[in-house]
């Protein structure tokens, strides 16, 4: 791509550098051969628990394990 | 964390009451200029500590645990010291090599010992590390390279893999998939995502073939 432009194409589309670099990293991970691919993908997994609050009280927390999805 | 709050607030107040010139004198040193006698810590802090608690050793600050880097040598060193780090691993740690070639956004950039200090943004591409007749090749997704004046180079990438771990079939598949997506994309964001896909896969492709 034209690197001489003041702003890269992904930046003018509203992406941040973090988003851009994470997309790039994800694409590279998906192109790996098998033992390495699953290893690299599992490295990117995140675990988190979500608790919703209602009437000033926390509801039952739900634990989620999923692949990190990059959003802006 | 709050140890320097008073100091920072003070410098802030002087800059507002007097002039911006006061702030200009408080310059942070370059990484290569950091004094090498950080082992004893901040002398003013140590003195103040001794007044309050003469029987207790002052706590160590993070800088005291860091090994200082050598100053810029007057003669050109024969080797380049490279740190190549990923979020989950240190691929190269203080490796002494002859040359590295990094894929900067402005084009492939060769770094030899004695290179001028630079910061370069990296694009998806081939990173090669030359050590004698040995050439190690990695494909990196994106990142930054910092070249210091003392022939140290720090390269950081989000994902980097040796070339032989890349599956050519997946690359071809991805390339055709994203080329198709680029043609059918409607919004700017979709277009940019497809463009990134095409860029990454064609970089992978040319790294594998070339």
Count CB atoms within 10 A of the CB of residue B47: 10
Could you tell me if A38 lies within 8 Å of chain B, comparing CB atoms? no
> Using one digit for the tens of pLDDT, what is the confidence trace for A6-32?
888 999 998 899 989 989 999 999 999
Could you tell me if A16 lies within 8 Å of chain B, comparing CB atoms? no
Q: What's chain B's average pLDDT?
A: 83
> Using one digit for the tens of pLDDT, what is the confidence trace for A35-65?
898 888 888 887 888 889 989 998 888 887 7
pLDDT for res B153: 94
Chain A residues in contact with B206 (beta carbon < 8 A):
none
Report which secondary-structure segment, H or E, holds A11.
helix A9-12
> Using one digit for the tens of pLDDT, what is the confidence trace for B100-111?
999 999 999 999
User: Cα–Cα distances in Å, from B140 out to A32, B91, B165, B172?
Assistant: 12, 12, 12, 18
Cβ-defined contact of A13 to B191 (cutoff 8 Å): yes
Could you tell me if B141 lies within 8 Å of chain A, comparing CB atoms? yes
pLDDT for res B20: 46
Sign of CA dihedral B127, B122, B109, B115: negative
Tell me if A64 sits within 8 A of A47, measured CB to CB.
yes
> Using one digit for the tens of pLDDT, what is the confidence trace for B4-39?
655 555 554 444 444 444 445 556 656 555 555 556
Tell me if B82 sits within 8 A of B128, measured CB to CB.
no
**Minimal CA–CA distance to B204: which of A25, A13, A40?**
A25
Chain A residues in contact with B170 (beta carbon < 8 A):
30-32
* Minimal CA separation from B125 to chain A, in Å: 10
Sign of CA dihedral A18, B124, B127, B205: positive
Evaluate if residue B201 carries a pLDDT over 90.
yes
CATH of the domain spanning A9-67? 1.10.1620
- Can you give the residue ranges of every domain in chain B? 5-65, 80-164, 166-209
The CATH number for B80-164, chosen from 2.40.30.200, 3.40.50.2300, 3.40.50.460, 2.60.15.10, is 2.60.15.10
Find the CB nearest A25 among B159, B192, B199. Answer: B159
More reliable by pLDDT, A2 or B106: B106
Cβ-defined contact of A28 to B165 (cutoff 8 Å): no
Could you tell me if A15 lies within 8 Å of chain B, comparing CB atoms? yes
pLDDT for res B44: 86
* Minimal CA separation from A65 to chain B, in Å: 19
Cβ-defined contact of A28 to B124 (cutoff 8 Å): yes
Tell me if A63 sits within 8 A of A49, measured CB to CB.
yes
Three-class secondary structure of residue B85 per DSSP: strand
Q: What average pLDDT does range B94-101 have in this prediction?
A: 92
Q: What average pLDDT does range B186-193 have in this prediction?
A: 90
Q: How many residues does chain A have?
A: 72
* Minimal CA separation from A48 to chain B, in Å: 19
Find the CB nearest B166 among A13, A32, A43. Answer: A32
pLDDT for res A60: 87
Could you tell me if A41 lies within 8 Å of chain B, comparing CB atoms? no
- Can you give the residue ranges of every domain in chain A? 9-67
Residue B143: strand pairing partners: B122, B157
> Using one digit for the tens of pLDDT, what is the confidence trace for B138-179?
999 999 999 998 899 999 999 999 999 999 999 999 999 999
The band of B116, judged by pLDDT with boundaries at 50, 70 and 90, is very high
Chain A residues in contact with B166 (beta carbon < 8 A):
31-33
Cβ-defined contact of A30 to B170 (cutoff 8 Å): yes
Q: Please report, rounded to a whole number, the percentage of residues in chain A having pLDDT higher than 90.
A: 15
Tokens linked to B169: 């079939």
Cβ-defined contact of A28 to B167 (cutoff 8 Å): no
pLDDT for res A69: 53
Tell me if B48 sits within 8 A of B84, measured CB to CB.
no
pLDDT for res B22: 46
> Using one digit for the tens of pLDDT, what is the confidence trace for B51-92?
999 999 888 888 788 777 888 888 888 899 999 999 999 999
Which DSSP state fits B78? S
Evaluate if residue B135 carries a pLDDT over 70.
yes
User: Cα–Cα distances in Å, from B61 out to B4, B45, B49?
Assistant: 12, 11, 13
Count CB atoms within 10 A of the CB of residue B42: 16
């Amino acid at each position: 791509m034209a690197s001489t432009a003041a702003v890269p194409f992904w930046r003018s589309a509203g992406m941040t550098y973090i988003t851009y670099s994470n997309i790039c990293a994800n694409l590279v991970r998906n192109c790996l051969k098998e033992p390495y691919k699953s290893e690299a993908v599992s490295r990117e997994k995140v675990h988190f628990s979500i608790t919703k609050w209602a009437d000033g009280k926390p509801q039952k927390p739900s634990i989620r394990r999923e692949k990190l999805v990059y959003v802006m | 964390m709050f140890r320097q709050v008073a100091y920072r607030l003070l410098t802030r107040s002087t800059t507002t009451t007097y002039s911006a010139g006061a702030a200009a004198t408080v310059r942070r040193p370059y990484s290569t200029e950091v004094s090498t006698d950080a082992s004893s810590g901040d002398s003013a802090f140590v003195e103040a500590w001794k007044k309050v608690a003469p029987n207790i050793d002052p706590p160590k600050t993070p800088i005291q645990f860091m090994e200082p880097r050598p100053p810029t040598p007057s003669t050109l060193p024969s080797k380049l010291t490279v740190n190549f780090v990923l979020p989950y691993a240190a691929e190269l740690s203080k490796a002494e090599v002859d040359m590295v070639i990094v894929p900067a956004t402005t084009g492939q950039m060769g770094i030899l010992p004695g290179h001028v200090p630079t910061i370069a943004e990296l694009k998806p591409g081939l990173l090669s590390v030359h050590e004698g007749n040995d050439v190690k090749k990695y494909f990196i997704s994106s990142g930054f390279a910092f070249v210091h004046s003392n022939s140290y180079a720090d390269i950081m990438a989000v994902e980097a893999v040796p070339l032989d771990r890349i599956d050519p079939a997946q690359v071809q598949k991805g390339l055709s998939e994203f080329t198709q997506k680029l043609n059918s994309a409607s919004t700017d964001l979709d277009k940019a995502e497809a463009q990134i896909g095409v860029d990454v896969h064609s970089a992978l492709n040319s790294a594998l073939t070339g």
